[in-house]
Structure formats: C-alpha cells, structure tokens
Amino acid sequence: MAKVAFLLASYFEDSEMKNPYEAIKEAGHEATIVGLEKGIVCEGKQGTVSYTSDVAASEVNASDFDAAIIPGGAAPEALRVNDDVVRFVKELNEQGKLIAGICHGPQVMISADILKNKAATSYIGIRDDVKLAGAEYRDEEVVVSENLVTSRTPKDEPAFIREILAKL
C-alpha cells in the first residue's frame, strides 16, 4: 500500500481530483489531502465536489509519502506560492518519488524547479511555462518521465490514472 498526498486548494478541477482520488483508494492505497491549512474545505470550481484537508503542507514530510498528485484548475496557482508546498514537492523529487500533475498541476512542478531535462505535458495555456522551466513539452494524453507523470485535461484522466497506478 502506498501513501499518496493530494495537494489541494479551492477551485481545483472537480474530476481531476475526484477520479484519481477514488481510483487510488479503490486500489487499496492511502490518500491524504494536503492543504494550505489543516481542516479547510476546498471547493471544486464546478461545484460538484469538495474535500476537507487532512493536514497542512507545513506539517508534511516527503519521507512519509510515496507519491503526490496535483489536480488542475485554479488550485495550483494558490499552491505554487506556498513555500511548504514547494518544499514538499522538491523533497519528493529528490527522493525519486512519484509526482503527478494534470492540467495546471505542473505549475507547482515549475515553482519547485523539477522539470529541467524531463518530458512533460500540461494544459496548453501553460505550455510555454513548462518549456521555459526546462522540460521537453509533448502534446500527448500522458507523459511519463522518470518519476513524473503529467496529463493535459480531464479527457486524459483515464491514461493519467492508469500510469499513476502502474507506478505505485
């Protein structure tokens, strides 16, 4: 059983959280919602789901987790400016652990400076940011590059989830 952190703030893309979260739990893994603060309600931007954070980013250590998943939407913008979130993602990367981001999720990877010399994809609106962060951008449903898994949009979720589960 793997311990998976879901990095979450409000205005995430509903399905990009709900579907991987449910798939991780169904596969028998432990899912922990890491927010900017403990116990805050994070609302999906479509209004179909909400989640309460289990723990604050300031309280997590990469050594306690096997992976992190970063749903897209507007949430990554709030996450990427938080020093504790960035530290956590950097530490996971240094330990070679799985980091998966979909849609705008790679914005957190950009801020953690972990895309250099990797291949990645994302929502097209941040394609240039991904390239400027040193990644080889690929317009594909899912890109696996060492410990990173990235996808573009909700329609890529089946491939995104498949590759995450394969890595776990």
Dihedral (CA of 85, 38, 152, 163) sign? positive
Q: Within 10 A of 39 (CB to CB), how many other CB atoms are there? A: 10
Count, residues in the chain: 168
Please confirm, yes or no, whether 42 is among the known catalytic residues. Answer: no
The one catalytic residue among 18, 80, 97, 104:
104
- End-to-end, the C-alpha distance of the chain in Å comes to 8
Instruction: Tell me which DSSP letter residue 12 carries.
Output: B
Q: Within 10 A of 27 (CB to CB), how many other CB atoms are there? A: 15
Please confirm, yes or no, whether 104 is among the known catalytic residues. Answer: yes
The answer to whether the CB of 3 falls within 8 A of the CB of 66 is yes
The one catalytic residue among 86, 89, 103, 148:
103
| Phi-psi category of residue 18: left, alpha or beta, with phi > 0 → left and psi -120 to 50 → alpha | alpha
Active site residues: 103-104
